[in-house]
Amino acid sequence: MSHITLIRHGQANTEARDEISYDRLSPLGHRQSAWLGAHLRETGSSHPRVYCGTLTRHVETAASMGLPDPIRDPRLNEVAYFTLAQLYEDQHGVPIPTDREGFIVHLPRTFGAWQRDEIAGAPESFEAFETRVSEALQEIAGGAGPAIVVTSGGLISMAMRRAMGLGVPAMARVALAIMNTSMHRLFPIGEHMTPVLFNAVPHLEAPDRQFAQTHL
């Protein structure tokens, strides 16, 4: 097996409340991505295999990083959280939050209801999301040489759930912690992929860049 470095996309449209409007990088998102790409080049990081989801924010992040011709795989796309949240509000009266503090409560509740199949008409089931993430990462891990994967926070939290046996509440806390353009590494130890890096943002640690350590 080969190790995988997962990267969350740069900051997207933080004012959006639907999937289409959210799916593009903000100006800061492009800067975060460019800084990360420069950091990888300056440190001599080698990733002969490059993948990303098919969402605009994934493709834009990879481009701003300067990654060459990533393989686009829809299995690496984020869960349609805005759609899921709207269904949850319509069916159960749980309002969609408008700030990070609200999301800290909302995301675990939504993930829990989703896993229990309490949200009718969800774009995909929790089980289907877990299966596609697992299958995609297993295939990537089976290839030759280190791989870099540009994706989203929900998918990264699912990868951590699979690697560490996390329950849904812990998975939700992981998702809330993940910063834009953060790096997460899964390394083969024995027969399993094990996290050896989580939420690393070395390209944003300098005092004049700490403002760019964003979650939303």
CATH of 4-212, one of 3.40.50.1240, 3.40.630.10, 2.40.50.140, 1.20.1730.10: 3.40.50.1240
pLDDT score at 71: 98
Q: Above 80 in pLDDT, residue 17?
A: no
pLDDT score at 64: 98
Q: Above 90 in pLDDT, residue 161?
A: yes
If one compares 44 and 103, the residue with the highest pLDDT of the two is 44
Mean pLDDT, residues 110-139: 97
If you ran DSSP here, which 8-state letter would residue 214 be given? -
- Taking the mean position of all CA atoms in its chain, how far away is CA 86? 20
Q: pTM to 2 decimals?
A: 0.95
Summarize pLDDT for 185-212 with one digit per residue, the tens. Answer: 999 998 889 999 999 999 999 999 999 9
Summarize pLDDT for 45-92 with one digit per residue, the tens. Answer: 988 999 999 999 999 999 999 998 999 999 999 999 999 999 999 999
Q: Helices H, strands E: what count in the chain? A: 8, 6
pLDDT score at 26: 97
Mean pLDDT, residues 157-184: 97
pLDDT score at 73: 98
Contacts from 161-164 at CB under 8 Å and sequence distance 24+?
161/130, 162/130, 162/133, 162/134, 162/137, 163/192, 163/193, 163/194, 163/195, 164/195
Three-state DSSP class for 52?
Answer: strand
pLDDT band at residue 97 under the 50/70/90 scheme? confident
Average pLDDT, the chain: 95
